[in-house]
Amino acid sequence: MQGIIIFTIISFFVGVVLAITNKTMNKEDKRIAEVTNLLPGYNCGACGFGGCADMAFNIIEENVDIKRCKPMREEQYKKLKQYLDDHVIK
């Protein structure tokens, strides 16, 4: 009976440590999701990337020119440019 209790306590603590580690290690850059939402969302690949999420990642991480998105309208371009000026480009 003691073995079951000890094993349960150890398992609980290991689970807590894994949950905390997962929370701290898997930080996602919220800017990528926000840039993805500002793109047209066609996932057409005309920019040369696999889709809008891939382009957003490259805009944030590699500083890719947003003009590569062919179907983007002028209003979307202005909103994205403003967002990037405020949050990414320093």
Quick one: CATH architecture of 28-87? Orthogonal Bundle (1.10)
What pLDDT, in 10s, does the model give residues 2-38? 999 999 999 999 999 999 988 888 777 789 999 999 9
Query: CA nearest 29: which of 51, 7, 58?
Result: 58
Task: Return the pLDDT at 26.
Answer: 78
Query: CA nearest 68: which of 51, 48, 83, 86?
Result: 48
Domain range list for the chain: 28-87
Q: Is the confidence at residue 90, as pLDDT, over 70?
A: no
Please give the model's pTM, rounded to 2 decimal places.
0.67
Q: Is the confidence at residue 88, as pLDDT, over 80?
A: no
